[in-house]
């Protein structure tokens, strides 16, 4: 869809004010997203099933386009919206409750056309970091991010806000066994590079000509040894000795830029 074509149906008719008070928790099986970019992206995503939008009148006016006439919207004030989201969350007058995105299989992603990198995250549990990595993955045309079910945060408003719309763009694959998923990537022709500050080779020296699966570990602990063992190469970012390491989302952005600049 062309960028100009997306400027459609996101503003307009809404329901009556009914107090807008809430518990701060989403309905069972639903997620709450907030902030203009996250909400707009979710509203435009045909894969989303929407339940309700709470909004201030200013929030509705900030949307780029118009909502369908029958879209379930309830006007609320800023204080009421604050009760619907995480503490001190910057909701920008928009809170959307919707169904979570459907699960994806790695084989489904690999079967699609595309040459962008895969981003594997090993025990990256901070939702702000996951959201920021999604944003960089979208900016540099990554095919997907891959996380392990037990060692990653669930889909949430915090991730969506940090991703600034990228949660709706970049496929997010959750797997039971990260090592097995890395093997599947190798079988599909991906060269697996794990980022670690202890590596001898720089990322530039380790980059191949073909597709890359980039693996990043949690801050502090880094990659687990059994996961690092499934990489074809380990590489470091050439940062100054005055700094021990980078935030994992910053490292992901730099590495994805390096891949895009080959």
- Residue closest to 145 by CA, chosen among 21, 3, 256, 26: 256
- Determine the length of the chain: 262
For residue 98, which of 12, 149, 156, 35 has the smallest C-alpha distance? 156
Contact 223, 251 (CB under 8 A): no
Looking at residue 25, its pLDDT comes to 55
201 contacts: CB under 8 Å, gap ≥ 6? 233, 234, 235, 236
For 254, the 3-state DSSP assignment is helix
Q: Rounded to an integer, what distance in angstroms lies between the CA atom of residue 219 and that of residue 126?
A: 10
Q: How many angstroms separate the first and last alpha carbons of the chain?
A: 27
pLDDT of res. 10? 54
The pLDDT value given to residue 240: 82
Rounded Cα gap, residues 71 and 13, in angstroms: 8
Q: String of b and e for 69-100 (b: at least 16 CB within 10 Å)? A: eebebbbbeeebbbebbbeebebbbbbbbbee
Question: What is residue 241's predicted lDDT score, i.e. its pLDDT?
Answer: 84
Give the count of beta carbons closer than 10 Å to the beta carbon of residue 234. 20
Degrees, nearest 5: CA angle 3-85-98: 50
Q: What is the pLDDT of residue 239?
A: 86
CB-count burial class (<10 Å; 0-12, 13-18, 19+) for 35: buried
Q: Are strands 212-217 and 233-235 parallel, antiparallel or unpaired?
A: unpaired
Decide: pTM greater than 0.85. Answer: yes
Helix 248-260 crosses helix 127-139 at what angle (to 10 degrees)? 10
- Counting as low any pLDDT under 50, the low residues of the chain are 1-9, 11-24
């Amino acid at each position: 869809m062309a960028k100009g074509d997306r400027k459609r149906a996101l503003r307009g008719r809404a329901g009556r004010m009914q107090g807008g008070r809430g518990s701060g928790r989403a309905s069972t099986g639903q997620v709450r997203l907030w902030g203009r970019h996250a909400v707009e992206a979710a509203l435009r995503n045909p894969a989303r099933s929407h339940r309700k939008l709470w909004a201030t009148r200013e929030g509705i006016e900030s949307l780029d386009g118009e909502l369908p006439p029958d879209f379930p919207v309830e006007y609320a004030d800023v204080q009421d919206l604050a009760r619907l989201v995480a503490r001190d969350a910057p909701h920008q007058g928009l809170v959307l409750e919707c169904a979570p995105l459907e699960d994806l299989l790695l084989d489904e992603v690999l079967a699609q056309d595309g040459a962008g990198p895969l981003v594997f995250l090993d025990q990256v549990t901070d939702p702000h970091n996951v959201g920021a990595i999604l944003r960089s993955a979208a900016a540099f045309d990554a095919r997907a991010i891959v996380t392990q079910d037990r060692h990653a945060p669930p889909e949430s408003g915090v991730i969506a806000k940090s991703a600034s719309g990228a949660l709706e763009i970049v496929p997010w694959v959750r797997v039971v066994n990260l090592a097995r998923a890395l093997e599947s990537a190798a079988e599909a022709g991906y060269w697996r590079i794990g980022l670690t500050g202890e590596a001898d080779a720089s990322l530039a020296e380790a980059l191949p000509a073909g597709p890359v699966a980039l693996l990043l570990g949690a801050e502090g602990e880094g990659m687990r040894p059994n996961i690092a063992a499934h990489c074809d190469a380990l590489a470091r970012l050439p940062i100054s000795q005055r700094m021990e390491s980078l935030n994992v989302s910053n490292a992901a952005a730099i590495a994805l830029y390096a891949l895009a600049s080959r």
